[in-house]
């Protein structure tokens, strides 16, 4: 049996003590027992009624900022010392969902985690120029039952990342991988 933290805080503001005694929640003020029962919020309401009072009106909640403002605040907080945003890719002028710290960590491995599986997948789905061949990626993923049509709207890098992550899941479960 527990007393919810919000109920305890409300009781504290009113000068009411809530305690657990013999598998029961007891509300008291000073030496006077006001109410007891199994549910903290019910006991508190009974204690307030026993004092002849009403529970204080809840404070007005602060309006939430719209999602766009929140995202802008997060980007501003994530800005590095040069003032660049975490997800901004200066060379291409676009934005990325990959944080700068991960880009720096993965750069030596052609933007993969660098394990053997990433190397095998890269060799299997990249063309002669080193770009991901989307048709080969989809063919490979479908052969291993790891393609999801929800990936169609993603860019090629995100598709490769998702296929790679699901491939790791197959390997972890010791499932056979079809290198078609």
Q: Over the stretch 140-162, which tens digit does the pLDDT of each residue have?
A: 999 999 999 999 999 988 898 89
**Whole-angstrom distance, CA of residue 25 vs CA of residue 37:** 5
Q: What is the pLDDT of residue 80?
A: 46
Going by their DSSP bridges, the two strands 32-37 and 25-29 should be labelled as antiparallel
Determine the average pLDDT of the residues in 13-19: 90
The answer to whether 95 and 102 have CB atoms below 8 angstroms apart is no
Contacts of 5 (CB under 8 A, 6+ apart): none
Please give the model's pTM, rounded to 2 decimal places.
Answer: 0.44
Q: What is the pLDDT of residue 66?
A: 66
Beta bridge partners of 18: 27
Q: What is the pLDDT of residue 100?
A: 83
Determine the average pLDDT of the residues in 21-36: 89
Q: Where are the alpha helices (DSSP H) in 62-133?
A: 67-78, 100-106, 116-125
* Cα end-to-end span (Å), the chain: 58
Record the tokens describing residue 45, joined without a space. 């309401």
Q: What is the pLDDT of residue 40?
A: 87
Q: What is the pLDDT of residue 87?
A: 44
pLDDT for 15 beyond 70: yes
More confident residue, 138 or 22: 138
pLDDT in tens, 39-87: 888 889 998 988 887 555 555 566 666 666 666 666 666 554 444 444 4
pLDDT in tens, 77-132: 655 444 444 444 444 556 777 788 877 877 777 666 767 788 888 888 888 888 88
**Whole-angstrom distance, CA of residue 99 vs CA of residue 20:** 48
- Residue 31: which pLDDT band, with cuts at 50, 70 and 90? confident
- Only one residue has tokens 């499932």, namely 175
């Amino acid at each position: 049996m527990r007393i919810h933290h919000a109920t305890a805080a409300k009781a504290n503001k009113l000068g009411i003590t809530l305690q657990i005694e013999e598998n029961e929640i007891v509300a008291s003020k000073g030496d006077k027992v006001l109410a007891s029962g199994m549910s903290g919020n019910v006991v508190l309401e009974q204690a307030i009624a026993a004092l002849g009072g009403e529970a204080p009106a809840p404070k007005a909640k602060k309006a939430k900022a719209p999602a766009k403002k929140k995202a802008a605040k997060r980007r501003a907080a994530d800005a590095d010392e040069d003032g660049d945003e975490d997800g901004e890719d200066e060379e291409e002028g676009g934005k990325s969902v990959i944080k700068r710290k991960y880009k720096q960590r993965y750069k030596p491995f052609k933007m993969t985690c660098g394990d053997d599986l990433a190397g095998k997948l890269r060799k299997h789905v990249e063309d002669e120029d080193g770009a991901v061949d989307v048709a080969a990626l989809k063919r490979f993923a479908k052969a291993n039952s790891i393609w999801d049509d929800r990936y169609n709207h993603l860019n090629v890098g995100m598709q490769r990342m998702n296929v790679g992550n699901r491939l790791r899941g197959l390997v972890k479960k010791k499932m056979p991988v079809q290198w078609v």
